[in-house]
Structure 1
Amino acid sequence: MGLHCIMPRLSFIKGGKKTKPLLRTGTLRKPRRLQSQDYQALLEKSLGGKQLFVDETFPASLASIGSGCLLDKLPDCVEWKRPHELVQNPQFCTENASEFGLHQGLTENCWFLAALSSLTFHPDILTNVVPQNQSFNKSYGGIFHFRFWRFGEWVDVVVDDRLPVNGEGKLLFVSSVRKNLFWGPLLEKAYAKLCGSYEDMQIGQVSEALVDFTGGVNMSIKMAQAPPDLFQIMMRAQNSGSLMGCQTQTGPERVLDNGLVTGHAYTVMDVRQVTVKSVTENLVKLRNPWGKIEWTGKWSDRCPKWEQLSYKERLFLRKRREDGEFWMSIEDFEAHFVELVICKLTPDLMSHEIGKEWTLSMQCGRWSAGSTAGGRMTYTESYWLNPQYRLKILKGDDMEKFTNSCNVLVSLMQKQSHKHRNQSPPLYIGMSVFLVPFEYQGVKRLPQKFFLTHRPINNKCVFINEREVTQDYHLMPGSYVIIPSTAEPNQECEFILRVFSRKHLLQEQTESPNIVLCCKKIAERHRNGIWETFFNKYFEKHPEIKVAQLQQLLNKITWTNSKQAPGKFSFDDCKLIMALLDMKTSGTLNMQEFRGLWKRLLSYQEIFQRRDVDKTGYLKLNDLQAAIKERGITLHRQFYNLVALRYGDSLLKMSFENFACLMLRIEINDGSAGPPSISVPRLQRSLSLKPLQPPAPRVFSHPFAASCRRHRSPAGQKFFTT
């Protein structure tokens, strides 16, 4: 792990030189506004209109709670009430928040609560997350706001103070030990809004919440591989102002005989050395975020070992009340917990400190399918196409004696791709660091052959399906390259790369013009090779395929980049395609006919994904016009409206499958193999755009063709074959 050097308080240095921080959006002083909601403007509007704020973006309804298993835990009667409707004298916050604990509610978010509990022991950090000058008395407008660090920037989140309660007026989720204190429940509501819903806060890592509260960087220590000096590491972490949390063995939450809870997160509150009969013992103080249920083993509240301490130590450390706080030995801590998380604080939170300083560099990047998503090193053909970042370690006066090495911490964090946290499971990600030899110093990007003959400094790159992966290095002055990657190629995601050291420079290696093209060719060759093999085997068993089989084959691939609209062909879509391609009127397609269809669909997919800039899985009217023009077709504006009306949904947006059916209809009815040059009258006839009413019945030469004469789009409109 190399955790022997816990970071001191950091100050931001860019390029090794001190610079005044720019007051840009997304900073702690000027956070980005979530959903463009301006707290001050909304507060003044509420006060001016003498009406309490109502947040329509996170309504007081079940939609804000969730749509899954959390709903099953809700009581029959759920109401949303403001604090002054629940207690006589509601208070927002107190000077010492750590004195009044928080209780977990129905949501399984002990990881969030453990991190929040840790925050209460750092008032300077707490005030960044919970802005002061908010109350239920002066300038009360039913609105509150909180700040979180999300993916490289600070975000200001506004909520109203309507909270879900049961029929007896008891809060359903987080509540305070002191019933009239509401900063905790309101902060939880703001975080739920950030995650998507209360249900999206279920199941998580305490490390995730610690970073969101601080903008810090996490280091995790697995107890199975804990270093011998674990207690010293924890002592240095505490002295440097770091936040700590820990977790028990994964699994359903249940209370063990020793008082610990499995599948549970705890806050590390304190570490101390005590003297028992001239022998030093190392103790760790923990807190259960439930505010109850404590460890009952050695050094628990009623353990007789306390009597062996001096009166002063016993008075200072021991507490007998059932409040969820307890002490245990470092040996028991290592034996009963599986992971310790240390959140080191970054310059965003810490004041300038004279003396040794750390440089923080941050780069934002993206893994894109077909260009920069090369996968891990075993994919030798594409690995080199991953983003590359050149790291130059500079020699400094404060390097470790004798070794002259520099302690470097690298953090790789993947961004959430869906508005709902739990609907965006993290990919398996990792990173490798390579020493750049002299002969490659002048090369902008390291070529493929470099990675075939060189091994990374971290010989074994571990890929983890967690939001953030960190690694500690000791590097000599010189030039290095960092390669962040997903475990598999063509997995898309945005990421943030952060590097901390005493003195370094970090720069992204720009792409050469041929890189994207090369990667697309590799990805296409890889993909086509897989499908070619699959289709060959499939058609050996089924020389002629029917509609149901066609649908099965077409839906083997994801046609759009959107997770919200995955783009699946319906049975009716496939009946229409079969009618268009089945020249033999046999009701089936052979492999040659299917290959022609597949080639067309891939070309349509390329156009569709290029025009679907927002990755919604749909083409708007303007996007549709541009997409059709790419195939060499130009229509009058009124025909685009009619096409969108007939093939799109009620908002005139078109999915990929309907776009593909439209293009097939145009091109095949026109009789061209490629982009057609089609006249307006012919287009009208081929698309049945005129008249809009069904034409007179026709006599079809084959029963299957008759079954395909009518097709229904997702929006319910009918169109007719000619």
Structure 2
Amino acid sequence: MAIHVSPSQGRGTMLAPGSAVTLEQGWQTTRAMGSHQNVKKFNNQDFNRLQAACLSQGLLFEDTTFPAHVSSIGPDLLPQDRLYQIQWKRPTELLRNPCLIMDGVSRFDIMQGEIGDCWMLAALGSLTLRKQFVENVLPRDQGFQEDYAGIFHFRFWQYGDWVDVVIDDRLPFLNGRYLSVHPRTSNEFWPSLLEKAYAKLQGSYQNLHGGYISDALVDLTGGVQMQFSLKDPPPDLEEILKAADKSQCLMGCSTSGQLRRNIELRNGIVQGHAYTVTGAAKIRYKNGWKHIIRIWNPWGHGEWKGPWSDGSPQWDHVEPQCREALLRNKDDGEFWMSCENFQEQFSWLYICNSTPTFLDFGDQHCTTWSVERHISLWSPVLVTGRNNYSPGAVSTNPQYFFKVPDYDPKSYNVVISLMQKHAKDMKGAKILKIGFFITTENSRVLKQNFSLIRDVTSCFILSPGTYAVVPSTTEDQEFEFLLRIFMKNQGDNEITNSLPSPALPMDVPRQNQDSSYKAVFLRHAKQGSTIDALQLQQLLNEVILQDETTSLGGGFSFDSCRGILALMDFSSNGQLTLQEFRSLWRSLTKYMDIFSRADRNHSGFLDVYELKSAIQAAGLVTDEQLLRLLALRYGDAARRIGFSDFACCMLRLETMTYAFQNLAEGRSQILVTAMEVRTLLPSLQAQGGTTEYVTRRVKLKMMCDVCS
């Protein structure tokens, strides 16, 4: 049994350029993807380093990768004469006391601007209801008060990885009004800044003008989304809605009318528009029960005027206590309506969560869901999704096997999600029609309908047995795909390859966060303002090595501290300021956490294999040659590395990695320690070296610098 899935109905279509995903070829490769500890840096921009550099120089950050220029708006969003009237202003230029967040985040903080991104704002409105997801997207280590430098960052999930997007806080205005989303409260700026970060991720504000709410829900959670047609709804729609609300899912809905977008009907419903589903309830009404749905309009105003709307007579027949708990009689864009009217007025329902808990309705057991993730590359040779499909052709495509051990014939137990991502650097890439087949042990094929969308997802009730998923496309074009297979675990709590907790921890352990770094710094600082290499050595050996495990490998030497200081000293004066030390402190506490997890036998040392795991946990890439060099340079006679040497190694490796990546992409580099690497390219190119040759030489140089 399968639920039919068709294209989302948002405001038009959108090509969503994604961030880099490590490509793994193979037939049965399962990856631990989307780690909350392994956040990728979009455009290789490190928030902490950039903020520290700006603070030390007394400058406000200006993002050259997403500048205050019409190129960031997009050439076709507005007529040319209006496009060049846009002004960019920082919140500090608009108000004396701007705030990032006031009294928590809420959907009522959001009011859509001129850009047609209701699809994204509807998903964002739902996100604010689910606090377990909010901190994933909106890190709290930023604001307009302490350490303000005009720089902010937000996180989004892209094709299996969390991506940290850095922006400056210059916002576009047209004729004195926000071009983008504007907050209901004049001095609260998290909606405008988050929208800017998402626009940067997508390439421009123009690329937010029309899109799929289903894509935005996944980008904000890293979860699995399902779409239900309200014109041909599943028989259990009301139960699915209640289960989704109870299990803290994100929900949205949309109306049809691609040719009549933003047309408000007499009943208050807007055509071609996306909304947030904010609640579902079953209440006593007259002599029976009534299912009602609560919906919010991202415009921040404009509501349904029919039955169960604000002030409608239906509420007179509801118990006063229930009416008081549910009804909010304000023109804030939020309203109730019956489930019948919901199906009449809206076309599609979208539900998203870390796992498909919304399918657990009617289940009396304590069930859990597990997930397997696979990433691979589509090759034109492997295309099989033709109208003249032949069962024999399936064998030429990658097949991903899974086993269903048990099932309840009345509840869904398998969800398949297939997401397409075009190969990196492919010009003129387009969304392809994709789908998949599920084959049984006797080669019987359960065929999935193909859809012209980024993410094709379906749920099934499968009997016990072994199955294979065969991803397919209808076009001869090469690109990457991400396949996720969710399975319900019946009758036990054992999870294999389970999803990580949706909570995204801060970059450092809580006991080592900002509340302590200032006191440590001031205790060792010279006249309360800076510390030199000797003071840094005393500080590190006194504070960092208090832990028994990290102290087993020995303390920090003076030469090591001189090297660390050189890496973190943005002003190049041989001393660390408080802001520079803050960045170092965060890195060191992060490395302590990585070291303790990699040191499985608690010996106080990492062997070569544990070192490789630790480097990968830090989000860095290494190969066998570099790994051997690191073990020789930083390890003891047995090639074991203690924490102090590990910290020095990681700081240098991370710095040189960023230097090499920025150099390879032709970007300017603010790190003084990368000067030698930066000057290497012109000299090699002058010798007639090819790009491949130069890149290889620069990488070799980087390896030598790390190990020197």
TM-score tier, shorter chain, comes to: 0.5 to 0.7
Q: Which residue of 1 aligns with 2:367?
A: 356
Deviation of 1:26 after TM superposition, in Å, equals 5.0
Q: Deviations over 1:439-479 (max 9, x none)?
A: xxxxxxxxxxxxxxx54124xx3111011001112222222
Q: Which residue of 1 aligns with 2:313?
A: 304
Q: Does 1:124 align with 2:132?
A: yes
Q: Return the match for 2:486 from 500, 510, 521.
A: 500
Deviation of 1:221 after TM superposition, in Å, equals 0.6
Contact 1:149/1:214, CA 8 A, preserved across alignment = yes
Q: Which residue of 1 aligns with 2:377?
A: 366
Q: Deviations over 1:387-423 (max 9, x none)?
A: 3223231425xx42xx5997110000011557899x6
Asked which structure has the greater RCO (Cα within 8 Å, sep 6+), the reply is 2
Q: Does 1:275 align with 2:284?
A: yes
Q: Deviations over 1:146-190 (max 9, x none)?
A: 11010011111100111111242x221011100111111110111
For the structure 1 residues 288 and 406, does the alpha-carbon distance in structure 2 shift closer, same or farther, using more than 3 Å as the test? Answer: closer
Q: Does 1:28 align with 2:36?
A: yes
Alignment of 1:261-272 (within 5 A): 261-272=270-281
Counterparts of 2:239 and 2:55 in 1: how far apart (Å)?
A: 53
Q: Return the match for 2:473 from 482, 486, 489.
A: 486
Deviation of 1:55 after TM superposition, in Å, equals 0.7
Quote the RMSD (CA, aligned, Å): 3.2
Contact 1:215/1:346, CA 8 A, preserved across alignment = no
Counterparts of 1:237 and 1:288 in 2: how far apart (Å)?
A: 20
Greater radius of gyration (CA): 1
Q: Does 1:456 align with 2:445?
A: yes
Deviation of 1:319 after TM superposition, in Å, equals 2.2
Q: Does 1:342 align with 2:351?
A: yes
Query: Identity percentage over the alignment?
Result: 39
Alignment of 1:311-330 (within 5 A): 311-330=320-339
Q: Which residue of 1 aligns with 2:441?
A: 436
Structure 1 counterpart of 2:161, one-letter code: E
Q: Which residue of 2 aligns with 1:52?
A: 60
Q: Which moved more, 1:223-232 or 1:428-437?
A: 223-232
Q: Does 1:474 align with 2:461?
A: yes
Q: Which residue of 2 aligns with 1:260?
A: 269
Structure 2 counterpart of 1:414, one-letter code: Q
Q: Does 1:195 align with 2:202?
A: yes
Contact 1:216/1:345, CA 8 A, preserved across alignment = yes
**Across the two proteins, how many residue pairs are aligned to each other?**
466
Q: Does 1:212 align with 2:219?
A: yes
Counterparts of 1:404 and 1:313 in 2: how far apart (Å)?
A: 32
Q: Which residue of 2 aligns with 1:407?
A: 413
Deviation of 1:125 after TM superposition, in Å, equals 0.7
Q: Which residue of 2 aligns with 1:659?
A: none
Contact 1:219/1:341, CA 8 A, preserved across alignment = yes
Counterparts of 2:423 and 2:213 in 1: how far apart (Å)?
A: 20
Counterparts of 1:27 and 1:113 in 2: how far apart (Å)?
A: 25
Q: Which residue of 1 aligns with 2:508?
A: none
Counterparts of 2:141 and 2:288 in 1: how far apart (Å)?
A: 49
Contact 1:245/1:341, CA 8 A, preserved across alignment = yes
For the structure 1 residues 74 and 117, does the alpha-carbon distance in structure 2 shift closer, same or farther, using more than 3 Å as the test? Answer: farther
Q: Which residue of 2 aligns with 1:383?
A: 393
Q: Which residue of 1 aligns with 2:293?
A: 284
Deviation of 1:3 after TM superposition, in Å, equals 7.2
Contact 1:195/1:420, CA 8 A, preserved across alignment = no
Structure 2 counterpart of 1:118, one-letter code: S
Q: Which residue of 2 aligns with 1:184?
A: 191
Q: Does 1:140 align with 2:148?
A: yes
Deviation of 1:356 after TM superposition, in Å, equals 3.5
Name the SS of the counterpart of 2:368 in structure 1. coil
Deviation of 1:226 after TM superposition, in Å, equals 0.5
For the structure 1 residues 236 and 406, does the alpha-carbon distance in structure 2 shift closer, same or farther, using more than 3 Å as the test? Answer: closer
Counterparts of 2:437 and 2:274 in 1: how far apart (Å)?
A: 30
Name the SS of the counterpart of 2:295 in structure 1. strand
Instruction: Find runs of 4+ consecutive structure 1 residues off by over 6 angstroms.
Output: 418-421
Structure 2 counterpart of 1:334, one-letter code: Q
Q: Which residue of 2 aligns with 1:37?
A: 45
* TM-score, L = length of structure 1: 0.60
Q: List gaps (5 residues or longer) in structure 2.
A: 5-29, 358-364, 490-494, 498-684, 691-708
Deviation of 1:122 after TM superposition, in Å, equals 1.0
Contact 1:269/1:287, CA 8 A, preserved across alignment = yes
Q: Which moved more, 1:293-302 or 1:497-506?
A: 497-506
Structure 2 counterpart of 1:364, one-letter code: I
Counterparts of 2:429 and 2:119 in 1: how far apart (Å)?
A: 18
Structure 1 counterpart of 2:384, one-letter code: G
Q: Does 1:395 align with 2:384?
A: no
Q: List gaps (5 residues or longer) in structure 1.
A: 5-20, 349-353, 438-453, 507-637, 645-722
Contact 1:25/1:31, CA 8 A, preserved across alignment = no
Structure 1 counterpart of 2:227, one-letter code: S
For the structure 1 residues 382 and 158, does the alpha-carbon distance in structure 2 shift closer, same or farther, using more than 3 Å as the test? Answer: farther
Q: Which moved more, 1:254-263 or 1:384-393?
A: 384-393
Deviation of 1:383 after TM superposition, in Å, equals 3.4
For the structure 1 residues 330 and 492, does the alpha-carbon distance in structure 2 shift closer, same or farther, using more than 3 Å as the test? Answer: same
Deviation of 1:253 after TM superposition, in Å, equals 2.0
